[in-house]
Structure 1
Amino acid sequence: MAARPEELIKPAERISGFGNDVWTMVNSAAAASSIQPIANLGQGFFGYNPPRFLIDAAQEALTKVDCNQYSPTRGRPRLKKALADTYSPLFGRVIDPVTEISITTGANEGMLSAIMAFVEPGEEVICFEPFFDQYIRNIHLASAIVKYVPFMPPSADGRVRIPASEWTLDMQQVRQAISPKTKMMIINTPHNPIGKVFSRGELLALGELCVQHSIIILSDEVYDRLSYVPFTRISTLSPEIEARTLTVGSVGKAFYATGWRVGHLIGPASLINHVSTAHTRICFATPGPQQEAAAVGYEEADSRGFWEESRMDMMSKMARFNAVWEELGLSYIDPQGGYFVLVNTSRVKIPASFAFPPEVEERSRDFKLSWFLIMELGVAAIPPADFYSPENAHLSEDYLRFAVCKNDDLLELAKQRLRGLKKYMDD
């Protein structure tokens, strides 16, 4: 019998191990659940629109001929100037909008461009776990090697509310992960999914290691506007650290517009030049109307008080939603930034009679818990196992990640349904 085409055509090794991602599994389960509407606190997209002034700017941009044609590959000048004006005071220096900023098609494409620009096949990139899973896919697309260093999770010690700051790195493990092949280190602050904001001391220790070993720093700061404690940018700690740091930002995260796919990288011209070259070859240019509207957003956000309003609103959502864990007595990680909360569900006991489909039955406990919540309670959350290497995935088995960037009525529905966990909890 002749082989079928799919048996003859093999994918490249760099993607063959990806399989179905966690987002597909959770969203498919949510669609299949008999409990509708699902209180979907899984994927981190917003449940509400960008602010009105940004929507108005986008509608106006759609009427402009130049906005509807190819944008300059490195970004529209107006957006780059608005970003330079916004971030120069925060970086403590004047940022050149022409040479030190590159606009990308989402922050993720910006990170891929940075990795492709500098990391050769076989070179190594250090990631701290848990990590945003797309980091690993991007590194593998570059045929590079991931070196994992886990955060040390805190002990609950009977507490319900555990500060995110108690997740720590063992600096000796970080040093041991560095080799002559280490090319890049990815730092995420505020952190997804922990909600940790790295302290100045932690960032300085990591930055000095990178200077010592000539390692490029890719600092993912897409949640910088949602920091609830003092926020330090690693690029500001010393000229030597700044010289090797690329800072990643996101219009989507800043303005509730994740579907716009506009990101940006800020860094020395010597680094940005190569990132822009890679970006040109990956997707050439980022959509013009969204860039033009984003420029208006950055130009007007301060005068409208948008940044503080956004931060206070998310803090309020987080506090009201996390009250349900206090009611249930389930430990949760109180975030210092971002809009995710990790909850320890070790006290939740899934009935032995509950049937899982084969693709879930073979997965870790957190996947089973996620499936159970969707099917039994109508609440979707993300199992963090895919944010860990296989060796350390056991660290996540009792946790679920909930996204709080949703409408208040949806958060209240989720809280109401989550109270149903009581009958599945031990004493």
Structure 2
Amino acid sequence: MSAATKQIRQILKGHRCLDIIGRTFVKSGANMSSEIEKKFALPRRFAGSEKSVWVEYIQLASEYNPLNLGQGFPDFPPPKYATDALAKVATGENYMIHQYTRGFGHPRLVAALAKLYSQLIGREINPQTEIVTTLGAYEALYSTITGHVDDGDEVIIIEPFFDCYEPMVKYAGGVPRFIPLRLKSEVKGRLPSSGDYVLDPNELESMFNTKTKIIILNTPNNPLGKVFTEKELVHIADLCKKWNVLCISDEVYEWLVFKPNKHIRIATLPGMWERTLTIGSAGKTFSLTGWKLGWVYGPANLMVNIQMIHQNSVYTGVTPIQEAAAIGFETELPRLGTDECYFISMPKELEKKRDYTVKFLSDVGMVPIVPEGGYFIIADWSPLESRVDINSEKDKYKDYRFTKWMTKNVGLQGIPPTAFYSVAHKPLAENTVRYCFMKKDENLAKAAEILNKWKNSK
């Protein structure tokens, strides 16, 4: 064997060794990667929460650039005094306003909130012990639910519900139990109203037992727009008292109620202050959702648990935002109950937007449910089913297929309402879509134009 041949064989042998080493390394790396993925997978208590309708539809909007009536925020300016206040706070001489503030709530803000709600609730609220400000109403819900739900506690959730309620209850070790608002009878000669959707009294009573810890109430309701009546609230209150149950009342849309409906705070009913924690939002109150400022108020003994969760998760809020919001409330407090008050003028403006949206949805063939409050409309799109190729979309639920098809092919985006229902009750919402009408008049007119053009093109 020549020297050259020996050299070639040696090289080939080396390559075989390298190949074996490489394959061994790849296999070892794959095993290591698998072990890492297995050990550091999402904890079981969060399973099922990975998919978010908001993440999915924001991405869809960025890809297709539709007119977006899906997300719930205004696209017009907030009150000038609020933004002026923030600018003044940001550039003022008090440089300490840019440092940490009191953890459970900026002193000036909790003082203003206590003054406001003392009038509305009809009892003196202690700003130091009976209010906690939070990073949005989202954190208010999280701290309230986490602070009061123990392993195995049952929590009654009224459907449709804001989609964070269910996962938050599960994270805390609780057991969600769902009861839907149902159409009480067939509606003839008019459009259905959110007031036509009610809880079955017997079904509601059957939900309560010795394991029931909490009922979550949302009035005005997102996404349906239902404003619970005094009679309905009294029934809920009586059951809470009978079974010693806490009521978490999500009232972020408290000011956005259309006449003749009236927002009644369940904490004002006899025997309910002692067992109610109420959630509020500066984002909804002042049309400033990006400020991410919320609060909880209730009796001091129930606030202790919220304080503990808050201090060990976020600790404190954003000082300049809280200072500016306090100035906003101080501006409105002397106007409370007058036509000058933003809390009075905004729902009047919003009612016009609601009525306009109801009309153009009806004109195109949908059947909107006229909301009593909030800034969303749920509409039945099933009369248009023959005109929509929903089967080109692969989602499980029809409302997802409809909203995606409309986003891509018509240029108008809504949100699928099954996102606001439990798995068992999603069929109740499959033929509907949710639109936000807290938008500029020209954008609502554009939405009407888009739908009319689509209707006439067929």
Listed as ranges, the gaps of 5+ residues in structure 2 are 1-26
Contact 1:128 1:187 in 2 (8 A): yes
Residue in 2 aligned with 1:40?
68
Partner Cα distance (1:282, 1:318) in 2: 38
- 2:430 aligns with 397
Identify the structure with bigger relative contact order (alpha carbons < 8 Å, sequence gap 6+). Answer: 1
Of Structure 1 and Structure 2, the greater helix share is in 2
Unaligned runs of 5+ in 1: none
Q: CA deviation at 1:329?
A: 3.8
1:41-80 pair list within 5 angstroms? 41-63=69-91, 64-80=94-110
**Alpha carbons of 1:300 and 1:126: their partners in 2 closer, same or farther (altered >3 Å)?**
same
**Residue identity opposite 1:308 in structure 2:** I
State the Cα distance separating 1:68 from its structure 2 match: 1.0
Alignment CA distance shift 1:234-1:352 (3 Å): closer
Partner Cα distance (1:192, 1:353) in 2? 28
Alpha-carbon contact 2:223-2:376 (below 8 Å) kept? yes
Question: Who is 1:313 aligned against?
Answer: 349
Could you tell me whether the CA contact under 8 Å between 1:377 and 1:420 is conserved in 2? no
Corresponding position of 1:373: 406
Instruction: Tell me, yes or no, if the aligned pair for 1:218 and 1:245 is still in contact at 8 Å.
Output: yes
Contact 2:136 2:292 (C-alpha < 8 Å) held by counterparts: yes
Report which stretch shifted further, 369-378 or 173-182.
Answer: 173-182
TM (normalized to structure 1)? 0.94
Q: Secondary structure at the match of 1:224?
A: coil
Instruction: Go from structure 1 to structure 2 and tell me whether the alpha carbon gap of 1:154 and 1:399 turns closer, same or farther (over 3 Å shift).
Output: farther
User: Which 4+ residue blocks in structure 1 deviate beyond 6 angstroms?
Assistant: none
Q: How many residues align?
A: 418
Cα contact 2:390–2:402 (8 A) shared by 1: no
| SS of residue matched to 1:332 | strand
Query: Quick check: 1:201 aligned with 2:231?
Result: yes
User: How far apart are 1:420 and its partner, in Å?
Assistant: 4.1
With over 3 angstroms needed to count, the CA separation of the structure-2 counterparts of 1:352 and 1:91, relative to structure 1, is closer
1:233 corresponding residue in structure 2: 265
| 1:37-71 deviation digits (Å, cap 9, x = unpaired) | x2101110111232110011111222332321111
Question: Among residues 294, 298, 322, which one is paired with 1:263 in the alignment?
Answer: 294
The Cα shift of 1:350 comes to 5.2
1:380 shift after superposition: 0.8
| C-alpha distance in 1 between matches for 2:263 and 2:98 | 37
Please say if residues 208 and 241 of structure 1, whose CA atoms lie closer than 8 Å, have aligned partners that are also in contact.
Answer: no
AA aligned to 2:52 is D
CA contact (8 A) 2:252 2:285 kept: yes
| Contact in 2 for aligned 1:160/1:326 (Cα 8 Å) | no
Determine if the alignment matches structure 1 residue 296 to structure 2 residue 327. Answer: yes
Alignment of 1:26-425 (within 5 A): 26-33=57-64, 36=65, 38-63=66-91, 64-154=94-184, 157=187, 159=189, 161-228=191-258, 229-238=261-270, 240-302=271-333, 303=335, 304-349=340-385, 356=392, 360-420=393-453, 422=455
RMSD of Structure 2 on Structure 1 (CA): 1.8
Q: Is the 8 Å Cα contact of residues 72 and 285 (structure 1) preserved in structure 2? A: yes
1:156–1:331 CA contact under 8 A, matched in 2: no
**Once the 2 structures are TM-superposed, how far is the Cα of residue 305 of structure 1 from its aligned partner?**
2.1
C-alpha contact (below 8 Å) 2:391/2:401 kept by paired residues: no
In 1, the alpha carbon distance for the partners of 2:296 and 2:372 equals 23
3-state DSSP of counterpart to 1:274: helix
Q: 2:21 maps to which residue? A: none
